[in-house]
């Protein structure tokens, strides 16, 4: 018996949401996922998520949503995060933060624990993600062998370190936040499927999804600018992983990279 997990990288703005809606039926058909998880921390105009957007994702067939450093950018989140068990924010935020850092997703007769953590290198100083990972992976293992960790972090080294730290204890460790899909997908010796960054879903002709002229102006002049999500053509990045239900170890993984001009799945 096995569980197929589809994890889709950071959804960025309206372009990313439109791409997800358009392509998700084909992804379901090709990869037959039992459980679909997306990172939604950039879903609302590039910053945060709203209740309506989360509802749309669930209506389209998404089962769980992870977040990151833009979790609190839409203030209405405080009004509903405690009532939405399918959304997780970084578990190593301060213990007073609303919401949860781990959830148990059940769908199509399968169960998957999803854990969200945020890195500390080049990001705000928060609680140690490695210690929190130890705590939550142990808790999750009491309910299911299938455990996914979304490590929302900037530094490649910190992400790789987390992969090795959890090898053999988590089923999947994937990175988000940097919006560029890396080419280091592997199943580690202990059976953990690892990828430094899954990538993003959104405009491919901007800079990490943002309108490129504003970003260029910032780099060249160092003057304040307002970043907005680009409106160009999209690309979509994801990863499909098959897990052995008996052991929770990964038996197969495949990166997914699609563009608006060439995306039909055979």
Point out the residues that are catalytic: 70
For 98, residues 6+ apart whose C-beta sits below 8 A from its C-beta are: 78, 81, 82
> Cα–Cα distances in Å, from 184 out to 40, 76, 103, 115, 266?
23, 37, 27, 21, 25
CB atoms within 10 A of CB 82: 11
DSSP secondary structure of 94-160: -TTSSS-SEEEEEETTEEEEEEEEE--TTS---S-HHHHHHHHHHHHHTT-S-EEEEEE-S-HHHHH
For 241, residues 6+ apart whose C-beta sits below 8 A from its C-beta are: 4, 5, 7, 171, 172, 193, 250, 252, 253, 254
Q: How far apart are CA 2 and CA 163, in angstroms?
A: 22
Q: How far apart are CA 167 and CA 54, in angstroms?
A: 31
Q: How far apart are CA 169 and CA 249, in angstroms?
A: 9
């Amino acid at each position: 018996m096995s569980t197929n997990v589809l994890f889709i990288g950071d959804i960025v703005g309206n372009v990313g949401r439109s791409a997800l809606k358009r392509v998700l039926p084909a992804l379901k058909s090709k990869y037959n996922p039992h459980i679909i998880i997306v990172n939604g921390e950039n879903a609302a105009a590039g910053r945060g998520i709203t209740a309506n957007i989360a509802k749309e994702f669930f209506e389209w067939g998404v089962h769980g949503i992870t977040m990151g450093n833009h979790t609190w950018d839409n203030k209405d989140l405080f009004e509903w995060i405690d009532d939405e068990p399918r959304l997780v924010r970084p578990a190593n935020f301060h213990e007073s933060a609303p919401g949860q850092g781990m959830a148990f997703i059940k769908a199509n007769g399968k169960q998957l624990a999803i854990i969200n953590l945020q890195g500390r290198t080049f990001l705000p100083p928060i609680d140690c993600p490695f210690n929190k990972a130890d705590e939550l992976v142990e808790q999750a293992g009491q309910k299911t062998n299938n455990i996914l960790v979304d490590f929302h972090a900037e530094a490649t080294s910190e992400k790789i370190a987390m992969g090795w730290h959890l090898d053999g204890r988590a089923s999947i460790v994937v990175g988000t936040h940097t919006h560029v899909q890396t080419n280091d997908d592997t199943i580690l010796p202990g059976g953990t499927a690892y990828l430094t960054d899954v990538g993003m879903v959104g405009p491919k002709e901007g800079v990490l999804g943002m309108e490129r002229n504003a970003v260029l102006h910032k780099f060249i002049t160092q003057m304040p600018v307002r970043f907005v999500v680009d409106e160009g053509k999209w690309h979509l990045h994801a990863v499909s992983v098959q897990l052995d239900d008996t052991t929770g170890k990964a038996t197969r993984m495949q990166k997914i990279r699609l563009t608006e001009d060439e995306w039909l799945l055979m």
